[in-house]
Structure 1
Amino acid sequence: MTHPSGPTLPRYQEIVHTLLAEVEQGVHKVGARFPTEQELCARFRVSRHTVREALRRLQGMGLLNRRRGAGSVLAARQADGRFHNSISALDELLQYASSTRLEVLSTERLIVDAVQAERLGCRAETQWVRVSALRRAEGASEPFAYTEIYVDAALGDVVRDIGRKQRAVHAMIEETYGLTIAEVFQTIEAIPADANTASRLALPANAPVLLIGRRYFAEDGRLVEISVNTHPGGRFRYEMTLLRR
């Protein structure tokens, strides 16, 4: 495999190509500790931000297992084709948003009925702005998620930037309205794809998908955002680290 490089590439991408070549050549062994951020900063003479972005890309290819405070381990010599999402803190949702692309399909204002409210975990007869979108990894043509994002209608000004800015929606809400997201409640469920989701992701009807729902609460307990992310089998892997206090 050849790895293009040159002045037109971002610096982190050049680092990714160099490290990929070393992995293929066996310089780094599967199961062994990968160079630390500090070591890579010194080697490539770049900032920690640049190195972290390069490591996130390698992790997204399924090549690295990263553990906060414990460094990285090479997990494989070849990418497995899935998008890997590893989250152990709210801030890592920001990294997830900044390293993927969101293609907005539709935006609409709605009042949720009782059935929708039960599914979303909110109160019936409340007003929301719903954004339907496909999410892709950088450089990938096939989406790894169909996403529905619900924003409290009173905070709807942020909707115009969804898809235009590679920023997590909850971060845009915080910046625009001066709120602080204090808690995120997450559910993970394996379900068969409904007709709408299957068509969005080019799947057979009732194909198995992973549904990840998140509800974002401000400090005063107000529910300000809901996201429903549907991932087809074989295109996505979710990783989570649990630390004992």
Structure 2
Amino acid sequence: MDPRIPLYYQLMQVLLQEIEEGRYQPGDLFPSENELCERFSVSRPTVRQAINELVREGLLHRVRGKGTFVSEPKIQQDFFQRLVSFTEEMEQKGLSATTQVLELEVVPASKTVAAFLSLAHEEPVYRLERLRRVEGTPIVVVTTFVPQKYCPNLHEHDLNNNSLYRTLESRYGIRVCRARRILEVIAATEELAKLLETEVGAPLQLSKSVGWDQYNRAVEFSIARYRGDRSQFIIELRR
């Protein structure tokens, strides 16, 4: 051990290396504080601080009444760098993605939705709510609003097995060419926690997105809530 480096940090690096090398697999119960104290001959506060850092990094997570577990690796997404559908991006990464349509209905546009889509207040829009899974794990709940006038009879298309972007382009000649996205952090409500199989209050990444087509029309407004423990967004900046 290097006396110039805090002991908890050195322990954290050792545990991190063991996780990365596969000694502990995703879903495994991580050794208890007492076991780590005995193994490394360090104090309990040192072990607790090292574990807390790994939890903050998303490598471990705690389950009340059960212990600390190794987390599943986060899914890296280029959502803020490339304009592709969720389905297309997962396919390109070699991951199996599925969609479950929770609701599809025509509703009057609220003032907020109308403003994002440059519509009149209460103009009819499709409200599409979907649950997206990757490798069987729920990752994101997306609510999308699409002006009904641009895609009549959208409800007749199979959006469980076809992406919305592909459907808009193949059926209605609408190609989303430009988008603006806003990223925030929220806490999971009881309803979202149930859908995403996480805890109430767990951090979620909230993305609000507006897409414009080749005619510069605002054709979709989406609100996506991603599991914070399973999602990671890459943003590359250049000067």
Per-residue CA deviation, residues 109-139 of structure 1 (Å, 9 max, x unaligned), is: 1012225546x565431221112121111x3
Moved over 6 A (4+): none
SS of corresponding position for 1:104: strand
Aligned-partner residue type, residue 196 of structure 1: E
- What stretches of structure 2 of length at least 5 have no aligned partner? 1-19, 23-69
Report the counterpart of residue 219 of structure 1 in structure 2. 214
State how far apart, in whole Å, the 1-side matches of 2:126 and 2:85 are.
25
Identity level (%): 20
State how far apart, in whole Å, the 2-side matches of 1:197 and 1:79 are.
20
State how far apart, in whole Å, the 2-side matches of 1:79 and 1:200 are.
19
- Superposition pairs of residues 78-93 of structure 1, within 5 angstroms: 80-87=72-79, 88-91=81-84
Post-superposition offset of 1:94: 5.9
Distance 1:106 1:180, change over 3 A: closer
- Residues 82 and 237 of structure 1 are in contact (CA less than 8 Å); yes or no, is this contact kept in structure 2? yes
Post-superposition offset of 1:233: 1.9
Which has the higher Rg, Structure 1 or Structure 2?
2
Report the counterpart of residue 192 of structure 2 in structure 1. 197
- Superposition pairs of residues 118-129 of structure 1, within 5 angstroms: 123=119, 124-129=121-126
Q: What's the TM-score, normalizing by structure 1?
A: 0.57
Per-residue CA deviation, residues 92-121 of structure 1 (Å, 9 max, x unaligned), is: 756226452111112111012225546x56
Report the counterpart of residue 65 of structure 1 in structure 2. none
State how far apart, in whole Å, the 1-side matches of 2:188 and 2:147 are.
26
Distance 1:81 1:208, change over 3 A: same
- Residues 170 and 216 of structure 1 are in contact (CA less than 8 Å); yes or no, is this contact kept in structure 2? no
Post-superposition offset of 1:152: 1.8
- Residues 180 and 210 of structure 2 are in contact (CA less than 8 Å); yes or no, is this contact kept in structure 1? yes
Instruction: Compute the RMSD of aligned alpha carbons.
Output: 3.0
SS of corresponding position for 1:144: strand
Post-superposition offset of 1:196: 3.0
- Residues 192 and 208 of structure 1 are in contact (CA less than 8 Å); yes or no, is this contact kept in structure 2? yes
Per-residue CA deviation, residues 203-228 of structure 1 (Å, 9 max, x unaligned), is: 33333210012111123322111221
State how far apart, in whole Å, the 2-side matches of 1:92 and 1:170 are.
6
Report the counterpart of residue 4 of structure 1 in structure 2. none
Post-superposition offset of 1:83: 2.1
Report the counterpart of residue 104 of structure 1 in structure 2. 101
- Residues 102 and 133 of structure 1 are in contact (CA less than 8 Å); yes or no, is this contact kept in structure 2? yes
Report the counterpart of residue 141 of structure 2 in structure 1. 146
Per-residue CA deviation, residues 157-199 of structure 1 (Å, 9 max, x unaligned), is: 444221122x3x2232122222332311111111123343233
- Superposition pairs of residues 1-245 of structure 1, within 5 angstroms: 80-87=72-79, 88-91=81-84, 95-96=88-89, 98=91, 99=95, 100-115=97-112, 117=114, 123=119, 124-137=121-134, 139-140=135-136, 142-154=137-149, 155-159=151-155, 160-165=157-162, 167=163, 169-244=164-239
Aligned-partner residue type, residue 84 of structure 1: Q
- Residues 72 and 230 of structure 2 are in contact (CA less than 8 Å); yes or no, is this contact kept in structure 1? no
- What stretches of structure 1 of length at least 5 have no aligned partner? 1-22, 26-77
